[in-house]
Structure 1
């Protein structure tokens, strides 16, 4: 009996020793990982924001983007922080940002110089879904106020892939056959095109983060540690704009790149503050509005991406407000349109109603604002909006940008059969309870349409 107990004790001790050894090995593994990424307690920031020399553990590639050896980005300072952005060499000879420029940026975006971008904005960038998949054309979009900008860019990506890309047939199958290289080319082309349109087809300005700091804190300005490190690159040709973005695409599509913010900065500098001031009116004096600890895009930002002009309203032309002030709407049709459904549409407020300029774009693609959530509706038929016979029975595709969506929504629209509206006196509130928000959004364009989800359960 004693031998049996002794044997059990030895076995138990052996197991304890093995468990301790396993845990030590596990800790050593994580210590090595932390050391490699410089996440340990004795971590120091590797970059010198004030100096011009390159730290010994960084390398510079041919595009001027700086990377730590063996890594794509500068190391993060904590597990929960956003990775530091890819930065470029200050030797690329862009124009360093000035305090006056920074103050003008913040005033135009936030209406003051005290606010800075929230966490969800800083982590937002342009990332595609898996290539050669059902959603190979689609961007992954996170939560927060940057979603509207990402989905407006998404609409332009669909436009490029279906209708303006040379040498490719624009059909639904082609969207699933996109390679990583084609994704990159699409993003560079689209971002350049949007900036070029904002610059009135005369010039575009691109903002990138460098290793140097050009603006110090003042009593009226608090640093955010990336805006102060910008250089501005101006281009007088669209093709040169596209090539520069493609060469520095990691600055917009890399994790922690602040890619969406850099795009917004580039958009404002391309538009110029002078043009921006003329675009806006008394209803919109700045482009972002505070919301639940973050910031949401005002309509002017979305319209600037869609049309090149920061029109603050969705109606056609100019209208008089409640106090006879002149309000600015959309002046011309653009390639990509806009639809919305929500409380404002239920109120019947004429100033919240989307005008025909946005409802009927030159190409059948719409950015949709559905109860504050952004999505894209589109057709692969270029003639849909130019031949009335095409609008009797047609297909639309729906991308919600929600993480759970793995395939495009496929909807068939019938505008000549409308059993959904048997009671002609039914109010909009009753219709909203019976039909999905997507269907109600589509009916702001085709009022009495019947919508078939082709066997799928209506979502969004």
Structure 2
């Protein structure tokens, strides 16, 4: 072939290549659009709009549902990829339709501890609304593990405060596994993690959130194995950007099975989550008995969830222990910097002395926490030991 003939055919070859690339670009544009992302017309280059390492410059907008790379597991990790049927079932169970998505408050929620070796080293931070109920329910199991399961040389409240970051992870893994195992009725636990691969592709009527479609399910028939797996992947639940609370909620639902959860909800004919005041709040928190086996109570006080607990495992099994004793209260609120220590006296009723006082008068009112305590120990006095009463 001569040089002149080659020059005549090259433009046609280049045109075909360009057309092919445009076609591929359109395909990727559809995929990115489906997941709430965009393909920009400009390309970030080293030294231009980046930090010098190819990363986008600070201040650039990123979709809130994008999962950070450290939490994307390899597809060959094992487990079962989520199906469109599963994702659809989750959406209908949680919201009652396929269009609602988790709010940013839910998406950014994860199991975040206070600093190790501090007064609240055992405690999870929680916002006032949204996923607070789930965080406080897990908090109760964390306290149970640290006080009554884990072997340690420390006693009483020190068992909760003298823990390091690894021990925080161990307590969280034990609490999550304990809850999932109970949901599976002592026979199985299902753990949901996010992988790099997208398992659920676009479907009419289903709105993607860019992490549910990446879920991989891992099923265990032994509680110890489930707990070890969670601990090995604990950052997927306790690090920022992990969607840790949502992953645990999904794990809880699949451990119970979606069908059985729906049966549990049929009496209310309502979705598991509901919208209110711009937030999504959780319903169907199981009521706790006033006399559990261990002195740990998940409380709903003034519409906010909190944990009340004692450090003596014999408190509820020996009536002589219920004369004068201590309970501890954790609200989960950021403004609480120290565990509140309450002294309960079940035989001294100073607060009832003035019978002539109007029960509705300000002087007669007591914090909601105290009134909650009196649903178990009627007439008991509560001493906050120097802490300003709250709730």
Which residue is equivalent to 1:78?
61
SS for the counterpart of 1:88 is coil
The Cα of 1:279 is off from its aligned counterpart by 2.6
Q: Which has the higher contact order (CA 8 A, sep 6+)?
A: 2
Which residue is equivalent to 2:263?
278
Q: What are the residue-to-residue correspondences of 1:60-459 with 2, within 5 Å?
A: 78=61, 81=64, 84-85=67-68, 86-298=71-283, 300=284, 302-303=285-286, 314=287, 337=288, 358-422=289-353, 429-430=360-361, 434-459=365-390
Determine the C-alpha separation between the residues in 2 that align with 1:249 and 1:176.
20
Which residue is equivalent to 1:40?
57
Q: Do the aligned partners of 2:358 and 2:364 also contact (CA within 8 Å) in 1?
A: no
Determine the C-alpha separation between the residues in 2 that align with 1:432 and 1:147.
32
Which residue is equivalent to 2:18?
none
Q: Do the aligned partners of 1:159 and 1:365 also contact (CA within 8 Å) in 2?
A: yes
Structure 2 gaps, min length 5: 1-46
Q: Decide whether aligned partners of structure 1 residues 146 and 105 sit closer, same or farther in structure 2, where only a CA change above 3 A counts.
A: same
Q: Decide whether aligned partners of structure 1 residues 455 and 203 sit closer, same or farther in structure 2, where only a CA change above 3 A counts.
A: same
List per-residue Cα deviations over 1:5-58 (Å, max 9, x = no partner).
xxxxxxxxxxxxxxxxxxxxxxxxx989745582339xxxxxxxxxxxxxxxxx
List per-residue Cα deviations over 1:316-351 (Å, max 9, x = no partner).
xxxxxxxxxxxxxxxxxxxxx4xxxxxxxxxxxxxx
Q: Decide whether aligned partners of structure 1 residues 424 and 221 sit closer, same or farther in structure 2, where only a CA change above 3 A counts.
A: farther
Determine the C-alpha separation between the residues in 2 that align with 1:423 and 1:89.
68
The Cα of 1:421 is off from its aligned counterpart by 2.1
Which residue is equivalent to 2:38?
none
User: What do you get for the CA RMSD once the two structures are aligned?
Assistant: 2.4
The Cα of 1:151 is off from its aligned counterpart by 0.9
Determine the C-alpha separation between the residues in 2 that align with 1:114 and 1:423.
57
Aligned length: 343
SS for the counterpart of 2:338 is coil
Determine the C-alpha separation between the residues in 1 that align with 2:352 and 2:234.
49
The Cα of 1:281 is off from its aligned counterpart by 3.6
List per-residue Cα deviations over 1:404-446 (Å, max 9, x = no partner).
2111101101111112123568787558962112212212222
The Cα of 1:457 is off from its aligned counterpart by 1.4
The Cα of 1:459 is off from its aligned counterpart by 2.0
Q: Decide whether aligned partners of structure 1 residues 101 and 262 sit closer, same or farther in structure 2, where only a CA change above 3 A counts.
A: same
List per-residue Cα deviations over 1:204-262 (Å, max 9, x = no partner).
10111111111123222100010011111111111110111111111101101000000
Determine the C-alpha separation between the residues in 1 that align with 2:176 and 2:206.
29
Q: Do the aligned partners of 1:120 and 1:143 also contact (CA within 8 Å) in 2?
A: no
Determine the C-alpha separation between the residues in 2 that align with 1:436 and 1:124.
29
Determine the C-alpha separation between the residues in 1 that align with 2:65 and 2:205.
26
Q: Taking structure 2 as the reference length, what is the TM-score of the superposition?
A: 0.82
List per-residue Cα deviations over 1:387-417 (Å, max 9, x = no partner).
1121111101111111121111011011111
Determine the C-alpha separation between the residues in 1 that align with 2:48 and 2:307.
45
Q: Decide whether aligned partners of structure 1 residues 427 and 91 sit closer, same or farther in structure 2, where only a CA change above 3 A counts.
A: farther
List per-residue Cα deviations over 1:302-327 (Å, max 9, x = no partner).
32xxxxxxxxxx3xxxxxxxxxxxxx
SS for the counterpart of 1:121 is helix
Determine the C-alpha separation between the residues in 2 that align with 1:284 and 1:430.
40
Structure 1 gaps, min length 5: 1-29, 42-75, 304-313, 315-336, 338-357
SS for the counterpart of 1:140 is coil
SS for the counterpart of 1:359 is coil
